[in-house]
Structure 1
Amino acid sequence: MASLLHIDSSALPMGSASREVTETFRKNWLAQHPEGTVVYRDLAAEPLPHLTAAGITAGFSDPDTHDEAQRTAWAVRDQLVAELEAADVVLIGAPMYNMSIPSTLKAWLDHVIIMGRTAGETSTVAGKPVVVVASRGGAYGPGTPREGMDFAAPYLEKVLTTLLHLDVHVITPELTLAKVNPAMSELIPLADASSEQAHAQAADKAKELAAA
């Protein structure tokens, strides 16, 4: 049975561009896999604890030697990694916050990146397809005033490919603040076009990965 790991990290439960596009992907993926399994993590509604010394040391030591703090911390990491390893496809909603990713998503990454298991040349998740919906309030592409200031999508793509050896596909709806920021009102048509394109890309990618 096909399995999708769906992660949302937007702090907004409603009106989130990243959540809307990940939902489009999920619906289209499920249409191809009506009996498929979806493991869903809303990192805003149920944030993970930050990685601690106990969690770090537990990843580099024999489980039989773990103290109570290490056992507790390792249980969290092991569960998250197991979800990642079991998934056929991974879907991540990653809005840009202050030019980077939400801290909740960074916490998830810190837990699932384990050298010698998920990370490194023998990665247990190598080649797994991951779709990242990297929404951003403004425009950061070539020729824009903020070109080169996006440290969200490039960071995620680099981490997921270099450390975890995942097959990453990025969808970028932008200008998402145009309808709520009066100073950006003239950009609403461009925002609508970007949103339409992102939803179409999400639907197409879901069908493509489901077929594969």
Structure 2
Amino acid sequence: MATLLHIDSSVFPTQASASRVVTEAFRKHWEEEHPQGTVIYRDLAAQPVAHITAEAHLAGFTDPATHTPEQAAVFAERVKLIEELEQADAILIGAPMYNYTIPSTLKAWLDNVILMGRTGGPNPSAKGTPVTVVASRGGSYAPGTPRESYEFVQNYLKAVLADALGLDLEFIVPELTMASQNPAMAELVPLYEASRDQALAAAATRAKQLAERLAA
């Protein structure tokens, strides 16, 4: 049975979150394709993981037999998150852009699961696992736009997820999500709606493609 690791990080509930709407659509299609499968869900806004501490960081580079009780406790929490990543057949991440980058809660999760010599390094333990990132943003930061140089979501996540962890990365990017709320962006509403519809269609297609890939 296939296992999906689903991570959401938007501070808004589904009905008000562009990223959650799309991850929910992906998950729905995934579950239709895998009715007997498992979904491990982490809502990082509702239940954030602990930010990395000196003890948790250093414990990753020392023999577990030498860990202090405090190191053992915090490292056990990291290992739990790492094992969820390693055991997943596919990963889904909602990564809205906040102030040009990812939410701090998502960064905290990444800091916990990136462990050189295990998930990172020459032979990353989750290498090849497909990961779909819904990278929503209020405006447009696409190549050729005035704010292209301010795009630190896709660039960062490619470096971390694809380059460091060796995951098979694909982005779904709903853009101009503030158009329906900001009067100054009213003329962009049709473009926002088109981007939203494309993202929902991409989520359905990606979920089906992964189901076929895992069944092969």
Band of TM-score, shorter chain: over 0.9
Q: What residue is the counterpart of 1:122 in the other structure?
A: 123
Q: Deviations over 1:151-199 (max 9, x none)?
A: 0111111211111010000010000000111111110000000000000
Q: What residue is the counterpart of 2:185 in the other structure?
A: 184
Write out the 4+ residue segments of structure 1 that deviate beyond 6 Å after TM superposition.
none
Q: Aligned with 1:148: secondary structure?
A: helix
What is the distance in 1 between the residues matched to 2:11 and 2:5?
19
Q: What residue is the counterpart of 1:205 in the other structure?
A: 206
Q: Deviations over 1:26-51 (max 9, x none)?
A: 01111110011000000000011110
Structure 2 residue 172 is matched with structure 1 residue 171? yes
What is the distance in 1 between the residues matched to 2:115 and 2:157?
16
Report the Cα offset of residue 142 of structure 1.
2.4
Structure 2 residue 10 is matched with structure 1 residue 10? yes
Q: Aligned with 2:91: secondary structure?
A: strand
Unaligned segments of structure 1, at least 5 residues: none
Q: What residue is the counterpart of 2:67 in the other structure?
A: 66
Q: What residue is the counterpart of 2:105 in the other structure?
A: 104
What is the distance in 1 between the residues matched to 2:159 and 2:203?
21
Aligned partner of 2:167: which letter?
A: L
Q: What residue is the counterpart of 1:159 in the other structure?
A: 160
Aligned partner of 2:206: which letter?
A: K
Aligned partner of 1:11: which letter?
A: V
Please list, as runs of the form range in 1=range in 2, the aligned pairs for 1:28-43 lying within 5 A after superposition.
28-43=29-44
Q: What residue is the counterpart of 2:145 in the other structure?
A: 144
* Greater Cα shift, 125-134 or 13-22: 13-22
Of all paired residues, the percent bearing the same amino acid is 60
Unaligned segments of structure 2, at least 5 residues: none
| Aligned positions, number | 212
Q: Deviations over 1:105-135 (max 9, x none)?
A: 0000000000111101111100110000000
What is the distance in 1 between the residues matched to 2:60 and 2:172?
32
What is the distance in 2 between the residues matched to 1:192 and 1:153?
21
Report the Cα offset of residue 145 of structure 1.
1.8
What is the distance in 1 between the residues matched to 2:34 and 2:6?
15
What is the distance in 2 between the residues matched to 1:139 and 1:115?
34
Aligned partner of 1:185: which letter?
A: A
Report the Cα offset of residue 73 of structure 1.
1.1
